[in-house]
Structure 1
Amino acid sequence: MSKMPIYLPQLLFLAIFLFYSVGKECGATPLKNLESRESSKTCGYQACSKPSQNKLNIHLIPHTHDDVGWLKTVDQYYWGGRPLIAKAGVQYILDSVIHELLEDPNRRFIYVETAYLWKWWSYQSDRVKTDVRRLIDEGRLEIISGAWSMNDEAVTHYQSIIDQFTWGFRRLNDTFGSCARPHVGWQIDPFGHSREQASLFAQMGFDGLFFGRLDYQDKRNRMDKKTAEMIWKGSDSLGNKADLFTSVLFNTYSPPPGFCFDILCADEPIIDDPQSPDYNVDRRISSLVEYATTQSKYYRTNNVILTMGGDFTYQVAETWYKNLDKLLRYANERHGSTVNVFYSTPSCYLKAVNEQALSWPTKSDDFFPYASDPHTYWSGYYSSRPTIKFYERMGNNYLQVSKQLSALTNISTSETYLNPYREAMGVLQHHDAITGTEKQQVAQDYARILSEAMKGGEQILSDALGSLISTRNQRRSRDGADVHFYTCYQLNISSCPHTEENNNFVLTLYNPQSRVVSTFVRIPVTGNSYVVRDFTGASIVTQIIPIPPEVLAIPGRESSAINELVFRARNVPAFGYQAYYVTKSNKNIERVRNESFTEATIQNEFFNVSITDDGSTCALRTIRSGVTNMRIAQSFHYYESSQGNNEEFENRSSGAYIFRPKNATPKNLTNVGSHQIYTGPLVQEIHMKINEWISQIVRLYTGENYIEYDWLVGPIPVDDKIGKEIITRYSSNLATGNVFYTDSNGREMLRREKNFRPTWALQLAEPVAGNYYPITAKITIKDRINKLRISVLNDRAQGGTSLNEGQVELMLHRRILNDDAFGVGEALNEIAYGKGLVVRGRHQIVTGTNLDRSSSILMEKQMAWNLLNPPCILVSPAGRRTFEEWRNHHRMQGSGLTKQLPPNVRILTLEPWKDGGLLFRLEHMFEIGEDTRYSHPVEINIKDLFLPFTVTNARETTLGGNQWLNESERLRWVSESNEVHRERENVRVVDTGLIDDANEVINVLLHPMEIRTFLIEISI
């Protein structure tokens, strides 16, 4: 956490609080022989102490919260390095806790971060490993959540969230068996909570979720109304399958004031020697019981949780357990008629609450944005460190490609490189990694971790594609046997040595999507003309576009490329590849047409885009119904960052976490630059220089129904000593009524309304920051009268809103000179190559009407997925080999699928798993009622879906792949709500048990928004 000081003095804490009112393993063996390891284990709910019906049950939860990087790097936190930054060493925590648990069978402990647990485990002796397994089997050491890291919930994509939980579960399952399978989510430190996260937890088979942070007004309201525990309805489409019991912890995740017994704390111990002048048992026990009794008044049952731990606590676990033992003993001795104090876990608390058989309030929205006081909205981190947010997206793209190619080719190198890649991406999901809320040196280490993992992924790609393209001729000849496939990691800055240094090269596009994709390819080159041949030998249309001077001048860019070669790659096969042979020629570059502002216009079949007199852009689309014209104006602005001393709420500064503009109205950026227009058969572009530190390219591709804005921001000037937070605005003539829609972790859309929260009467002191929401993939506005819609798709997570009628606002970059005093201790002032950080990114604007709703929504979904998982471009130098020689020795096209999937379904996951089997996920892309054509169940035969192999056996698991679905039994909860779930259509559902190859078909039925996960066996 300590995004604020955890251990506040008692009086300060109370003042603040009162003021704001606060089974069986899956996939460990071949499918047909899977059985439970042992029947004598007493873990899980069997290990819980029996609560009292007539007393206040005080559940003491010993725990530690171990950030997977924050103020120190992952390794520094594990080993205890750089102690002057923070005295924290995870290895000592686990060593110490295990020793103390073995001392007394009544003691309990929970652990969360699988990344650290796995690292620690790899250094342990057989004796220690035996002890740990016994502690887990007896329920004394409980693993909860179980992901690789405790992920952020605002700026993470659901594909990456699922991946990092799946890999954490896999390590736990392989190492410890069923007793290490988590039952609950423990998201105590993320800065706001998403509905999609709750839905995913429910689909993973979790019984509940605990978290610590919610808006201070929301907390006060829930405490007053005893609604801090609820049934969170995670999906309108999935019904009760996505419902999750959720509990808001009373004191974030800290101990009661005065009861931190860690060596990092200053609270007094329990002194029980009556002869000592410092004897304090009576006073201390009374204080604890009073605190717990007060807490119980805000909850509905006679059970309360006291979280006994905090950030990197228990390095000397003896100091905790010695004092906690005394608390239990003396509290039960002195107050045993009214309280029952015992060691517990969140699972045991959940079971005790469930056994009360009460009905619970419901919630169907999310917990964004999170505010900790009237002037502190944690909506800045939605946009902090935009380059690491984009890098993580790149990492996910290449990880999916690496997993798919490993599964399709069964290459021997995959496990060597794939596991570190999975783990690196798990680290990046941490709530102080992708969020941008870490120290600068830690951000650089995250980039190092991902970079090294991606190099391993590149080896997988090269080996796998080498296997796929090889022919008999190649195996007989040495020619072409040494083909390597190189990735171009710096296309974002128009740089790729392999396309710049070779006159002849082959571009191979691998398409990780389960649909055929046509895409425009842009690669940096040094020449003015190139010939591109497709796999048939036909020359295809190309276009050369100069790279803007602002891109050429990006600090750190070391590239000889001055142009980009553009061509359209048509019909790249699903889960497949398509190659293009590129030859440098000697033609002259296309003529450049320069225009003045008043004449600057580009257009295609759908849009007309021009530059206005003030230098902003204006796009016009004629709606074919003849009803109206849609107008979209785009412009840049910036907010001045508040700079305070952080000693009072009103003096809060903007920082890595907090967005707090000095004024509600942003500053305008007048265009003082120039522009150029480039036209050709494939794309028309306006290259705009706004000022010395902002430029952009506006693109219209031939035949494409969207506008692309390629923006470049930085170095943001701070010579005036003022921090700046840069936004772009898309203003339209739509009548939106202050309503807009944002995605939840890239999946379902949620309705937002300016200055409004669905569950309490909002009092808003920060009218801008309090209306900002995380935009992971898409933000949409709709016209109430003409039924028009505009969606903005982004290539990385950003903060966004709609503050005015018909307007969308997205934050691009932040450079701030003050810290916001939530622990990171540094201003968000990123420097690269001696200058302020320069960021480049893309937005795609999609429009639609009710008349074309089905096609436009489908297009939006496909485009958003294409921004997340675009075809991967790989370069192979061709040397002196002609096209004919290359084609004679290499296959230039291939697919991994035998048939086309329905447009509303996609393959979410395909990766190697165990014993030659694969982990496979299918998902339905549409919500219930979202579309008349696509929001319906669909059935697919997966037996013959893949070209390289046949699916012989399939058995369905929960979403995390660690438990058979038909053996997952979640706790049942009763809702107070009168709402009725829409029943599923009466169609046949595939058996969730074992399916063998005696069947001609293996049909999978998917309902709207459903993700189904299978472990499959294959024959080649």
Structure 2
Amino acid sequence: MLIRIFTYFLTFTTICQAVPPNIIEKAEQSNCGYESCHPIKEGFINVHLVPHTHDDVGWLKTVDQYYYGSNSRIQMAGVQYILDSVLDELRKDPDRRFIYVETSYLWKWWKQQHDIVKHQFKKYILNGQLEIIGGGWSMNDEATTHYQSIIDQFTWGLRRLNDTFGKCGRPKVGWQIDPFGHSREMASIFSQLGFDGLLLGRIDYQDKSLRFSTKTPEMIWQGSDNLNASEIFTSVMFNTYSPPPGFCFDILCSDDPIIDDKKSPDYNVDKRIAQFLEYVKNMTKVYATNNVIVTMGEDFNYQDAHTWFKNIDKLILYTNKLQDTGSKYNLLYSTPSCYLKAVYEEARKDNISFPVKTDDFFPYASDPHAYWTGYFTSKPTIKRYERLGNNFLQVCKQLYALTDLGPEDWADLNAMREAMGVMQHHDAITGTEKEHVAHDYARLLSAGFDECRFTTATALSKIVTKKQKSTKLLNRDPAPAIPFSTCLLANISQCEYTENSNSFIVTVYNPLSRPVNHYVRLPVVEQHYKVSDPNGKDLPIQMVPIPDSIKKIPGRQSNAMYEIIFLASDLPPLGFKSYYVMKSSGSNLNTQSEGDVNIEIDQNTGLISKVTMNGKTIPLEQNFFYYRGTVGNNARPENRSSGAYIFRPNGTDIYKISWKSSYQIFKGDLVSEVHQTFNDWVSQIIRIYNGENFVEFDWVVGPIPTGESGKEVISLYTTNLKSESTFYTDSNGRELLKRVRNFRPTWKLSLTEPISSNYYPVTSKILIRDPNQDVEVAVLTDRAQGGSSLNDGEIELMIHRNCLHDDGFGVDEPLYEKAFNAGLVARGSHYLVVGPYLNNTGAKTLAAQERDLAQRKLLAAWTFLSPTNGLSFAEYKAKYAMEYSGLTKSLPDNVQILTLEPWYGMNFLLRLEHVLERNEDPNLSKPVTVNLKGLFTPFQIVSLRETTLGANEWLNENSRLKFKAGQKLETMVRSNETLRNDPLWYDGYRKWIRSQHESNDINLRRQNSNTIFKQQENFASNDEFSVTLDPMQIRTFIIDIQKNYEKYVLWE
């Protein structure tokens, strides 16, 4: 967990734009979108030149440094100058085009402009000269991000664009040109956003080579196995996102301009046009239609846009002049949308179909020894901080919506929205930024926390302060407002509030849509406490000593010796319970109970040796190992170093941290713990909570000692399962994807890096199965990590890494983080789940239990602390509410309110999601209907209208281009006789293709039936407030509300 970054607490304000009169603004008179596209020429190769800039929202420089252009000794880049300069150049010629992507920079620039400049900019949006692409607050990573945060960052970016430019600012094309691999869930998200297509920059070099040789870089990507319509047309760029070699006309480049003065000795028009057309000819061999897209731009290009546009003008002019002498090449200014439209129209006219892709693009390798799988784990503490940020942002948005907060609180909420949007950037959460930039990301997020803490404190204070009912009581002084705070350093068992107070109030807020039980742990100094629930009942508590390894974490400033633990049971949905805690001179209240989860510890090694859970007992060992990173000069692929992006171990060996651990066992009525110490930089606590169906592994790693090579640390779980080279990982925390070791479903893998080529991103969960034993072993993570199953029966997760050399992909510094003048210490947890996955006799299948656990881990109950102000329990309860729910009833276990937040005036944004896949549970995987009427306590829904996923377009007004689908790519590959005769590839193919039938087989065996559940279409209910959700479906609504906030107050 993050230690260093919580020390940043800076106040940060966001200017709030006035609320527009319409929720989804109607377009002004315009010719934007497809209407603005330049005409193409039939019978010609139409070359779509797309001027663009790729502006990283932080990487080598901080966000502000990139925007303002400071710190130029690192990189000459200033975003404000790009937008200024492009605006000037578009004014000179209406034929010119430009696209922009990063909404965070655009919004920052927009707020600083004079109204005249804004009018001019908007004019170019409306006439199609300037097109917004993508639309997210940043260009998000696809491996380490969670779907909730991805949706949030798109929603906020699209909201700003819609407010500012209306319909013409609405993107129709995804532009993921720089992320290091692509997830299937992102394809599904773009489809649900209502986009027509998606353009990708980076795919595996072997995959790209095969696609280019078979003319299949364009495809229909199926984003979900569960949704009826999740497909999106996808095209892979020819040259990532760079201009053709020799044709970078930026002031940062050294390529020759086009010199058209025939009197000049440097005249080069004929030569340069010939070079360009030779490049285009190679492109035409790759793509299926007579339209090709050529990107004319690079990182932070167009600071002097004149040099670009002047030379592109000449390139178009002199190339098209050759048509007079028979040339069949037609160059035109274009945009990704116009390219997409041209491809669509030609494909429709000529009945061209595109192959169907059903898997994802992970892992990504740029050459035989550069597998970009290290960033799945790099900078583990900032990955955890981001996940905490999402947790708190949802709490903040919900509490804002559940109380009558005013416009003055809007900016506080926006600060957190925007900080989290920045964190999704593909060089932020990934850990692939310079160290000083990581510190700045932490500063931004810390400021967001600070702002949202004001929001949550204000909202909670409004809720808990009781109104007086009688006239007599009304004459009394009103109860003073209660301050609420949060202990963000509880991750290192440090909390000044609990350590220095004789009594305090613990308020536990549940952001989920159903009741949950949550174990509260707080660091304290004394051993004896008394905890009372909202009804005054004394609760059982348990005191557990804080291990020495935690006390020694650099930067920890705490005298706490123990953690007090109690169970906050039956926390209401979107609500809280408050607990009165005070020091006690007597003994703590205990009760004895037995759980259904048990582990055995080998007394000789101190390691776990066996686990019993859900009626299954299996041998299981967990230990820590590390890989030694390769050290090289990066001059050639075989000399590649392990670094922030690249995981490249020096061989296939792993090195055990220790053969055994010293350990202590602490048993109690609430939790049993095994405190393990492996060496002076690795320790762990294994926990079993009473009533919970998992085993927690709370690990602490660091500072990692340096040596001749870096150490990349893994937690390895070893079982006796015969998993047949197969394991499963989640896609951005949502659907599961099957992985087969040493195999790719659409090409034959050349195995040059046997370890890193089998690593996949684990956002939330990794699991293995043994069908003969009917056993599944799953490990759930608290942040994104790289993971694999390199041998049958094993699961490994990389939890921390340092590298002594850079990997040569731009960061130019080794991945060795420091905090408090020492190597970084990371703390985190894994949840282990074991049980049957085929024949389930419980109320929920194992898959459904894991879904529930993943949600409770992602959106954990949030603990707030406040003073008792010297009041006894009875006095406090008389003045303040100690229990509250924002819902009048719980939602079903398979439904979650994904989003509840203020939107415009008396409008809220509401998203509902079905959290299970269709094959995961015979009951909970069915469609479910929820009636929203009277659902919320503090307000009534007056009307609702459905939008696309991004909440920027009414769903019934969205129409998408429909491309014709051909064969599945894996079927096309299977027909290749060379591969069919390759025993290694074909064996992997048989294992992978079995997944197409396995989910149905699981469903059959669970239901003991001869029929397979089929996804149903949504149906309209007679009740306008009824919403039906199919498995994995998300539905988005803008709701009009009538406030009834007195209902959140409990009267005496």
The aligned amino acid for 1:772 is Y
8 A contact 1:164–1:422 mirrored in 2? yes
Q: In 1, distance between residues paired with 2:1026 and 2:543?
A: 48
State the match for 1:913 in structure 2.
903
Aligned counterparts of 2:378 and 2:287: Cα–Cα separation in 1: 36
* Contact 2:848 2:920 survives alignment (8 Å): no
- Number of the residue aligned with 2:377: 383
Contact map agreement 1:640 1:661 (CA 8 A) in 2: yes
Preserved contact between residue 475 and residue 481 of structure 1 (Cα < 8 Å): no
Residue of structure 2 equivalent to 1:996: none
Matched, 1:899 2:889: yes
Letter in 2 for 1:279: Y
Shift of 1:985: 5.3
Q: Which residue of 2 aligns with 1:16?
A: none
- Cα distance in structure 1, aligned partners of 2:162 and 2:47: 31
Once the 2 structures are TM-superposed, how far is the Cα of residue 931 of structure 1 from its aligned partner?
Answer: 2.2
Alignment of 1:898-977 (within 5 A): 898-977=888-967
The residue number in structure 2 matching 1:876 is 866
Q: How is 1:272-671 mapped onto 2 (pairs within 5 angstroms)?
A: 272-335=260-323, 337-356=327-346, 357=348, 358-412=352-406, 413-473=408-468, 478=477, 480-587=479-586, 604-621=595-612, 624=615, 629-671=617-659
| Cα distance in structure 2, aligned partners of 1:480 and 1:802 | 58
- Name the SS of the counterpart of 1:260 in structure 2: coil
Give the Cα–Cα distance (whole angstroms) in 1 for the partners of residues 532 and 905 of structure 2: 41
Separation (CA, whole Å) in 1 of partners of 2:341 and 2:1014: 30
**1:822 correspondence with 2:820:** no
- What SS class does the counterpart of residue 845 from structure 1 fall into? strand
Q: Which amino acid aligns with 2:107?
A: W
* 2-structure distance, mates of 1:739, 1:552: 40
Once the two structures are TM-superposed, the CA of residue 637 in structure 1 deviates from its matched residue by: 0.2
Letter of the 1:731 counterpart: T
Provide the C-alpha distance between the structure 1 equivalents of 2:479 and 2:1014, rounded to a whole number of angstroms: 55
Residues 986, 377 of structure 1: CA spacing in aligned structure 2 closer, same or farther, 3 A cutoff?
Answer: closer
Report the CA distance shift for 1:987/1:801 in structure 2 as closer, same or farther (over 3 A): closer
* Structure 1 CA distance for aligned equivalents of residues 1031 and 778 of structure 2: 21
Aligned: 1:207 with 2:196: yes
CA contact (8 A) 2:541 2:589 kept: no
Structure 1 spans left out of the alignment, 5+ residues:
1-26, 592-601, 992-998
Q: TM-score, normalised by structure 1?
A: 0.93
Pairwise CA distance, 1:650: 0.9
Deviation at 1:477, TM superposition (A): 5.0
Please say if residues 41 and 138 of structure 1, whose CA atoms lie closer than 8 Å, have aligned partners that are also in contact.
yes
Structure 2 distance, partners of 1:235, 1:160, is 19
Query: Displacement, 1:929?
Result: 2.3
Partner Cα distance (2:779, 2:809) in 1: 32
Shift in Å, 1:611: 3.4
* Aligned AA (1:584): K
Query: Residue 621 of structure 1 aligns to a residue in which SS?
Result: strand
CA distance, structure 2, for counterparts of residue 613 and residue 180 of structure 1: 66
What displacement does 1:858 show? 1.6
Contact 1:230 1:245 in 2 (8 A): yes
Could you tell me how far 1:754 is from its partner in structure 2? 0.4
Structure 1 range deviating more: 117-126 or 842-851: 842-851
Give the whole-Å Cα distance in 2 for the aligned partners of 1:802 and 1:64: 40
| 8 Å contact kept, 2:126–2:168 | yes
- Map 1:231-246 → 2, pairs under 5 A: 231-239=220-228, 241-246=229-234
Measured after TM superposition, the shift of residue 880 of structure 1 is: 1.5
Quote the offset at 1:750 in angstroms: 0.3
Per-residue deviation, 1:984: 6.2
Whichever residue aligns with residue 807 of structure 1, its letter is E
Question: Which letter maps to 1:862?
Answer: D
Q: Report how many aligned residue pairs link the two structures.
A: 969
Report the AA paired with residue 418 of structure 2: E
Give 5+ residue unaligned stretches, structure 2. Answer: 1-18, 972-995, 1001-1011, 1044-1052
Matched, 1:264 2:259: no
Deviations 1:983-1014 (A, max 9, x none): 965666238xxxxxxx8651111111110000
Match of 2:977 in 1: none
5 Å-filtered alignment, 1:594-993, equals: 604-621=595-612, 624=615, 629-671=617-659, 674-718=662-706, 720-849=707-836, 850-852=838-840, 854-977=844-967, 989-990=1019-1020
Cα–Cα, structure 1 residues 988 and 365, in superposed 2: closer, same or farther, change >3 Å?
closer
Give the alignment partner of residue 150 of structure 1, picking from 123, 129, 139: 139
Deviates more, 1:937-946 or 1:959-968: 937-946
The answer as to whether partners of 2:845 and 2:920 remain within 8 angstroms in 1 is: no
CA distance in 2, matches of 1:286, 1:480: 82
Letter in 1 for 2:1020: V
Alpha-carbon contact 1:303-1:353 (below 8 Å) kept: yes
Query: Which of 960-969 and 669-678 deviates more?
Result: 669-678
Percent identity, please. 53
Give the distance between the partners of 1:347 and 1:987, measured in 2 at CA: 30
Residue aligning to 2:120: 131
The one-letter code of the counterpart of 1:385 is K
Cα offset, 1:274, TM superposition: 0.2
User: Which amino acid in the other structure matches residue 498 of structure 1?
Assistant: Y
Is structure 2 residue 144 aligned with structure 1 residue 118? no
Give the AA of the match of 1:364. Answer: T
Between the aligned partners of 2:504 and 2:1026, the Cα distance in structure 1 is 43
Aligned amino acid, residue 189 of structure 2: L
- Asked if 1:171 is matched to 2:160, the reply is yes
The answer to whether the Cα contact below 8 Å between 1:615 and 1:670 also exists between their aligned partners in 2 is no
Return closer, same or farther for 1:279/1:383 CA change in 2, 3 Å cut-off: same
Q: Give, in angstroms, the shift of residue 944 of structure 1.
A: 1.4
Identify which of 1006, 1013, 1026 aligns with 1:1003: 1026
- The alignment's C-alpha RMSD in Å is 1.9
Tell me how far 1:786 sits from its aligned partner. Answer: 1.7
Number of the residue aligned with 2:6: none
8 Å Cα contact 2:47/2:291 also seen in 1: yes
2:171 equivalent among 176, 179, 182: 182
Partner SS state of residue 853, structure 2? helix
Distance in 2, Cα, partners of 1:307 & 1:840? 43
Once the two structures are superposed, residues 118-176 of structure 1 have per-residue CA deviations (whole angstroms, 9 ceiling, x without a partner) of: 00011111111111111000010000001000000000000000000000000000011
TM-aligned CA distance change 1:103 to 1:677, over 3 Å:
same
Give the match's secondary structure for 2:723: coil
Contact 2:508 2:577 in 1 (8 A): yes
Query: CA 1:257 to 1:115, structure 2 compared with 1: closer, same or farther past 3 Å?
Result: same
What is the identity, as a one-letter code, of the residue corresponding to 2:649? P
Q: Deviation at 1:603?
A: 8.5
Q: Distance in 2 between matches of 1:771 and 1:671?
A: 26
The answer to whether the 8 A contact 2:25-2:167 is kept is no
Q: Is the 8 A contact 1:671 1:689 kept in 2?
A: no
User: Which AA in structure 2 matches 1:912?
Assistant: P
Q: Which moved more, 1:355-364 or 1:442-451?
A: 355-364
Alignment deviations for residues 514-568 of structure 1 (CA, whole Å, 9 cap, x no partner): 1101011111111101100000000000000000000001000111211100011
Decide whether aligned partners of structure 1 residues 528 and 807 sit closer, same or farther in structure 2, where only a CA change above 3 A counts: same
Is residue 737–residue 784 contact of structure 1 (8 Å, CA) maintained in 2?
Answer: no
Report what 2:90 is aligned to: 101
Q: Write the deviation string for residues 469-519 of structure 1: whole angstroms up to 9, x where unpaired.
A: 111249865575131000111111111111111110000011111110101
* Post-superposition CA distance 1:233-259 (Å, at most 9, x none): 0001113x2101000000000000000
Deviations 1:42-85 (A, max 9, x none): 00000011212200000000000000000000000000000100
Q: What's the secondary structure of 1:643's corresponding residue?
A: coil
Q: CA deviation at 1:587?
A: 4.1
